[in-house]
Amino acid sequence: MEERTPIIEVSHLVKDYGHGRGVFDVSIAVHKGECFGYLGPNGAGKSTTIRHIMGFSKPSSGSTKVFGIESFGHTDKILARVGYLPGEPAIPAGLNGTGFLRMMQDMRGERNEERLNYLLDLFRLNPNADVTSMSLGEKRKLAVVAAFMNDPEVLILDEPTSGLDPIMQQVFIRFIVEEKKRGKTILLSSHIFSEVDATCDNIAIIKDGKHVSTFAAKDLKQGEIATYVVRFGSNEDAERFYQSKSDAYETKEINSLRKKVTVAVRRDHFKAFFDALSHYPIREFEEKPFTLQDYFMSFYQEEKTFLGLSGVEEKK
Ligand SMILES: Nc1ncnc2c1ncn2[C@@H]1O[C@H](COP(=O)(O)OP(=O)(O)O)[C@@H](O)[C@H]1O
Ligand SMILES: [Mg+2]
């Protein structure tokens, strides 16, 4: 079989910060046109790995390459071809959003106004606001627009949805799926299983700086049943929905104080479920995310069953 050169390659990366902290012998490869999820809880080593890929830090041992170029010392070459979204976007004070975006465009020597306007519109961002008055979510959206505005072929995104509100998270996830369809190569870190599951072809799991497993997303079958938490406008509505009966869904739990109902829905019965909900004013609606913790629990169970899939294999 023909060996494809990966766009991003991390080989036996070690960064030892002492006291068991850091990244220990992580190897991943991201190939052209794929969306690769780098999944792990807080402190797992995701940002450390990504900073090495961008060439900001020197490995204790091992290596990271982008386009076959050793990362360390070549950040400028990498940044010229990669859209990078840092975990904690630092936006210089004293600029407004537009000033920041212009600065980034000038650094790259490229302006694509059409693309920029599309992104501002998609993420509903007003770039004229002063950066110091922006919320964390707005700053992140600004950094997202900056990372995507010159339409780079490769995207490296460190926890891109953190700080975004639930609707914007969904917008972003759909956007990533579209970008992938347009042929982009994407590395995305996250601690949220469901967003990685929704966007990525391949997923690596990291925990305590160590690589736990790499697997193809298509091998992970989400259950037939999805769980949602719906917040209603009034307690009466919540109660009425809670008491309602349907083949499509089953109400599980009601929190009267918060006007929230937890409901299990068969994935092939979404439409009937949404039809039923359309009779109520809904305040909030979210899928209860399948957490990494759930995954670990299932992964380490003796049977190694994962929502009906047995034996998620560790790739050696
Ligand atoms: N510059 C640093 N100096 C010392 N320890 C660090 C440094 N950067 C990260 N760490 C530690 O390395 C571990 C991994 O951090 P990080 O890569 O930021 O995790 P994640 O992005 O997955 O939340 C954490 O224990 C963190 O405290
Ligand atoms: Mg991080």
Collect all residues with Cβ–Cβ distance below 8 Å to 213 and sequence separation of at least 6.
204, 205, 299, 312, 313, 314, 315
Enumerate long-range contacts of 246-254, CB under 8 Å, 24 or more apart: 246/272, 246/273, 246/276, 247/272, 248/272, 248/273, 248/276, 249/273, 249/276, 252/227
Residues linked to residue 186 through DSSP beta bridges, in sequence order: 35, 155
Query: What are the phi and psi torsion angles at 115 (to 5°)?
Result: -65, -45
Amino acid symbol at 119: L
Cα of 159 to ligand 1 centre, how many Å? 14
Domains of the chain: 8-219 (3.40.50.300), 225-287 (3.30.70.250)
Question: What is the pTM (predicted TM-score) of this model?
Answer: 0.74
Q: Which atom of ligand 1 is nearest to the CA of 48?
A: 17
Beta strands in the chain (DSSP E): 8-18, 21-30, 35-39, 61-66, 69-70, 82-85, 154-158, 185-190, 202-207, 210-216, 225-232, 249-255, 260-266, 282-287, 305-306, 309-310
Tabulate helix, strand, coil % of the chain (nearest 5): 35, 30, 35
Which residues does the chain have with pLDDT short of 50? 1-2, 298-316
For residue 21, give the ligand nearest its CA. 1
Please report where in the chains the tokens 């490229």 appear, as a residue: 110
Say what the pLDDT of residue 302 is.
37
Cα of 297 to ligand 2 centre, how many Å? 22
Closest-CA residue, ligand 1 atom 8, reads 48
Q: Which atom of ligand 1 is nearest to the CA of 15?
A: 12
Beta strands in 135-275 (DSSP E): 154-158, 185-190, 202-207, 210-216, 225-232, 249-255, 260-266
Residue 313: count of CB within 10 angstroms of its CB: 10
- Picking from 251, 267, 269, 262, the residue whose alpha carbon sits closest to that of residue 288 is 262
Angle between helices 136-148 and 166-181 (to 10 degrees): 10
First to last CA, the chain: 18
Say what the pLDDT of residue 3 is.
59
For residue 86, give the ligand nearest its CA. 2
Pocket of ligand 1 (CB under 6 A): 17, 21-22, 40, 42-48, 87
Collect all residues with Cβ–Cβ distance below 8 Å to 107 and sequence separation of at least 6.
none
Say what the pLDDT of residue 200 is.
93
Say what the pLDDT of residue 248 is.
87
